[in-house]
Amino acid sequence: MPVRLMDSLATTEALAEIFSDGSVLQSMLRFEIALARAEARLGIIPPAAAQVIAAVKADDFDAAALASATLRAGTPGIPFAKALTEVVRAKNAKAAGFVHWGATSQDVADSALVLLLKKAQPVIEADLRRAEAGLRELAEHHRDSVMLGRTLLQAAPPVTFGLKAAGWVAAIRRGRKRFTKAADEALLVQLGGATGTLAALGDRGMAVVNAVAEELGLQAAEAPWHTHRDRMAAMICACGVLVGSLAKLATDVSLLMQGEVAEVAEAGGEGRGGSSTMPQKQNPIGSTIILAAATRVPGLVASYLWGMAQAHERAVGGWQAEWATVSEVLQSTGVATASAAELAGGLKVDRGKMRKNLDDTLGNVLAEKAAIVLGKRIGRDKAHKLLETATRQASAENRPLAQVLAEMPEVAKHMDIAALSKLDAPEDYLGSTEIFTQEQLKDPRD
């Protein structure tokens, strides 16, 4: 389905289709058909009635009319059940009396929402795996690509691009697993009837729930969850954390793409990343879309959590807010994951520029290394003060730190020329970088 222009930066074609009117109608209809079939199988309604109900198609409904009626009814379940009854009545008057038997409007809406989540889950997970794979390849390839570390946006002791990318991989993998677990736990059929007791079905309620769940390929909860939204909330929160991790990736990439840094670049191509007025520009579009999603999602997560305070057996307002919220969260998460996958698959890394940016510091970022070496001989505090003086002088005179240190009598007493010459080698000051990279790239079985 084509994405609406208004939503063009907020979803993907696949997710726009999943949350389209036709898909929503089909999901509500699937619940009603599953309910009828389950009840017929258990001898609660006539099999002939279930057959008529099962023959209804989503095309038999007017989505615009249902949307208008929903605004008046306060739930999509009521106008849908009425419309379904009329469609069935036109085929078989007796069968119409068994539509929606024992269910309530929220059962239709919640079960449909869960079915939409079930469709969206593999789409999001597939893009996450693509993003992981692309970033893993970058991390492996750039294990030895030394670059500036940056703390508080200032130059700091060196790291490797492999370590940075491995951190992205590990965070996204954790986010994917968290999302999968939470989504799996939320795939529960909703069937509780008027007040969550299924009294209209007598003592057959749990049998019907199990049968409907089987028909839909969902799980049966231990009881209806009309006003207990914790499992859906956990999935929403997992989306929030996941999008936050993707935003970390996007923030790093967009900063590394700044013209004065220029250590990485997103893939370009026709119509991607250009400017309407500045021909030279290559903008971080994938990162931009991820960060736009990360701007929307936290507020949506908070909205969902706020709505969990639902009164008694049926909510006033909180539940009615959920369709739009869940739809936006899943689509925002999906567009962020799709953008991350595209970003990861085409990211270009400039090792030469990384080395130049390191060298341009004239060794000042290795002041900690010098302080550690010198501190073992004259004490940490004294060494730290000497290095503060030396780095300021090196910056003011635009000279290498090692050269300035060699001219300081206090340093020359304790460090020979050979030791000073090694201060400019960032490869010798990477500590446990390789171990941390390896540990983060480990891929334990899901």
Please give the positions annotated as active site: 275, 314
User: SS3 of 1, please?
Assistant: coil
Q: For the residues of 54-118, what is the DSSP string, one character each? A: HT--GGGS-HHHHHHHHHHHSSSHHHHHHHHHHHHHHH-HHHHTTTTTT--HHHHHHHHHHHHHH
Q: Which two tokens stand for residue 258?
A: 């700044």
The residue among 62, 178, 59 whose CA lies nearest residue 125 is 178
The residue among 211, 224, 229 whose CA lies nearest residue 104 is 224
Helix crossing, 77-91 with 63-73: angle to 10°? 130
Measured between alpha carbons, how far apart are the two ends of the chain, in Å?
32
Gap between the Cα atoms of 298 and 340, Å rounded: 18
Q: How far is CA 419 from CA 70, 364, 374, 412, 415, in A?
A: 77, 16, 10, 10, 6
In contact, 91 and 45? CB cutoff 8 Å: no
CB neighbours of residue 12 within 10 Å: 20
Gap between the Cα atoms of 369 and 106, Å rounded: 64
- Which amino acid type is present at position 189? V
The residue among 219, 236, 238 whose CA lies nearest residue 308 is 236
**Strand (E) or helix (H) holding 288:** helix 285-306
Nearest-5° Cα angle at 159, 155 to 161:
110
- Supply φ then ψ for residue 326, to 5 degrees: -65, -40
Q: Which two tokens stand for residue 437?
A: 């990279």
Q: Which two tokens stand for residue 28?
A: 């509500």
Gap between the Cα atoms of 352 and 191, Å rounded: 61
